[in-house]
Amino acid sequence: MRYVVITGGVLSGIGKGTIASSLCHLLSNSGVKTSAMKIDPYLNYDAGTMNPYQHGEVFVLDDGSESDLDLGNYERYLDRNLNGDSSITTGKVYKEVIEKERRGEYLGSTVQIIPHITNEIKRRIRKVANEGNLDVLVIEVGGTVGDIESMPFLEALRELRMEEKGDLLFCHVTLVPEIGSEEEQKTKPTQHSVKVLREIGIQPDILMCRSGHPLTEDARRRISLFTDVDRKAVISVYNVVNAYEVPGVLEKQGVIDLIREKFSMPSQEFHDIWADYKQKLLHPQEHVNIAIIGKYTGLHDAYMSHKEAFNHVTGNTGIAVDIKWMDSDSITDDNSLKGLDGILVTPGFGYRGVEGKIRAVKNARETGMPFLGICLGFQVAVIEFARNVMGLEGANSSEFKSDSKNPVIDILPEQVGVKDMGGTMRLGSKKVLIKDGTVAMELYGQKEIYERHRHRYEVNPEYIPDMEKHGIVFSGTDEEGIRMEIMELKDRRNFIASQYHAEFLSRPLKPSRLHQHFILSALEFKQKKMAILEGGP
C-alpha cells in the first residue's frame, strides 16, 4: 500500500483539494487503483452542523455521512463513491479515544496525544487503505502547516512514513506570490513553509507551487536550492480558466512519473478521458443566464456541487451557464428576475429567505421560465402551489410556522418526539421509484434510482390527493409511496423539483439528469424569447 499525503502552507484555501483530486484523477486513469481521504483538524464530529459561510457546502455521501466539500471533489475526479471512513476529523478521533478509555481498553494507561491519538489516526488511515484492494491512497490534510490543531495529524503521518518505509510520499502545496508591476515571483513564503514542515520532521518530496503565472526557471531553481527538493519535483500550479484543467497542468510536468519513480511502480500511459469534455467546457457554443437563489450566495462554495453540476452540463452539451447569484432575501418583486433564462432554488434550513424563494417560484410558474428546485427548493415549490393555485390560506411548512393552518410540509408522524438533531434527518442514498409517463421517467429511463438526501420535513400526505387534482404530478416517491421525491406540473416540461440532492451524484461525464434537463430547457426558453423579439409584435 502506498500513500500520497497533501499538506498546505502559507495560507488556507490555496487549492489543496483541487490538487489532491487532480492527482486522484491522473493516477486512476493511469492504471493505478486510487482512493482519497480528507483530514479536517476541527473539533466538530463532522461538517453537518457547520454554517456554510464558515465552511462551504456540506457534502453528503451514500452512507449518510455529512462531510467536507472536498469529498465531493474527490468523487467527481475519481468517478467513484466514497464513504464516511474517508473523512477524519479531530472530533471523530478524540471521541473514539475517549470512549475506548471509558471502556477500559487502555488498561489503566495515561491516555496521551502520543501514542493514543496518533495511533487512532493511523488506524483510521490504514482501515481505508486496506479496503478495496487499493494501490494508492491520497490523503489531504486540511488547514495550514504550523496550525496547532493539525499537529497530531502531521505527527501521525510522520510516524506512518517511518513504519511504511518507502511507501509514503509528502506533497506540499505553497504560495508563490507575484509582487509589483513586474509581477516578480517571490519564493520566501515557500521557503519558510517548508522550514516549518521540516521542523516537525517532514521533508517534502514534491512541492506544488501556486502562482498566477507559470513558475520562472529562476524561481524554480531558488525553491529547489533552499528546500532541498529536486528541481523536477518543483511543480508549477498556475491559474487556469477552469479547475478541470489542473490535471493536465500537472501531467505535462511529469507528476505521474515522479510518483511512480518514488514508489517503484511500473510505467503506464495516462488516458485523458476528459479531452472532449474539456473542449466543450472551455469553448461553449451557447450561453444561458441562470439565477442560483439561496441565503448563502455570498460564499459560492456553499453551493459547490451545483456549480460543478453546471460545469458537467457545459462539458457535455456545450451550453455555458452564466450564474447570477441572488440572495433570496433580496427578491422583493419580479423586477429582480428579469433577463433570466431559468432559476434554481437551492437547499437550506430555517425560515430566513424562504418568502423570497416562494416569490421566485411563483414568477417561474406564471411566466413559463424554467425552474429547478432542490430539497428546500422542492418544498417551497409545493408551498407556493398550495397558496397561489389551491388557495390554501397560510400554507407553509411546520418548520417555519408551527401553528400553520395548512402545514403542507410537515414532520411525518413517526418522526414526532425524536429529540436528537440527527434522529429525524433523512440522510444518504435512498431508493426513488419513478412513475411512467412523466418527465422524470424520460430523463432517467428507469423505474428505480438511488439519490442522496439531507432533509427532515416531507410533503404532508393529507394534502397530496388535492394537490394532484390541481395539477401537481409527484413523479417520484419512496418505496412506501409516503415520501414525495420529485414534483412536476401537469402539461409543463420545464418545471421540476426534487426532494433529493441531484447535484451530489453529478460527474463530469455523467451530469445530473435534472440539471442537464434544466439547462436544455433554459436554452429553449432563451431561443423562444429571442425569436419573439426578432419577429416583432
Catalytic residues, which ones? 375, 501, 503
CA–CA separation, 250 vs 71, rounded Å? 20
How far are the Cα atoms of 270, 344, 377 from residue 258, in angstroms, in the given order? Answer: 14, 43, 46
Q: Is 311 helix (H, G, I), strand (E, B) or coil?
A: helix
Single out the residue of 480, 286, 487 nearest to residue 386, CA to CA: 487
Cis, bond preceding 115 (omega within 30 deg of 0): yes
Q: How many CB atoms lie within 10 A of CB 492?
A: 15
Q: In the block, which residue shows the cell 520532521?
A: 201
Cβ neighbours of residue 302 closer than 8 Å, sequence gap 6 or more? 52, 53, 56, 57, 294, 296
**In the numeric block, which cell numbers belong to residue 371?**
425552474
Q: How many CB atoms lie within 10 A of CB 94?
A: 16
Q: Are 531 and 338 in contact (CB under 8 A)?
A: no
Measured at the CA of 414, the angle between CA 408 and CA 417, to 5 degrees, comes to 95
Cβ neighbours of residue 130 closer than 8 Å, sequence gap 6 or more? 1
